[in-house]
Amino acid sequence: MEMIARNPTSGLYTTSPDYIHALEVRHPSRLLFVSGTMGLDQQGIAAADLEGQLELIWSNLRAILTSADMTVASIVRLTSYLRDGAFMEANQNARLRALGGRAVPTTAIIVETLHDDWLVEIEIIAAG
């Protein structure tokens, strides 16, 4: 499988270092579509703060990826659902740490979550 960043500099706005416009995936043998994943522990309880929820989300995502014999390097698309726009920077920093600085196509959306104590939810697409 080959991944090629498609980040044209002519004809549209430039990206920041943390994301790219598109990622071409050539010859994947399988795709994994992951539901929105929350910062919940094994008992289904949300961490008390944003940092704790982000840590749990990425731990949960790594567990899901591992179950499919994939890693965070397999992520080709990411969407974050934030309860508050003020969470954008912390979410971005957590994503960059989790991905080792690798940029992927990403979107952040401000939403009202299903439960008041859910501060962020992340869904991904991975390819292997």
pTM above 0.85, yes or no: yes
Per-residue confidence of the chain (128 residues) as pLDDT tens digits? 999 999 998 999 999 889 999 999 999 999 999 999 999 999 999 999 999 999 999 999 999 999 999 999 999 999 999 999 999 999 999 999 999 999 999 999 999 988 999 999 999 999 99
Name the residue ranges covered by the structural domains of the chain. Answer: 2-127
Dmax (CA) for the chain in angstroms is: 49
Domain 2-127, second-level architecture: 2-Layer Sandwich (3.30)
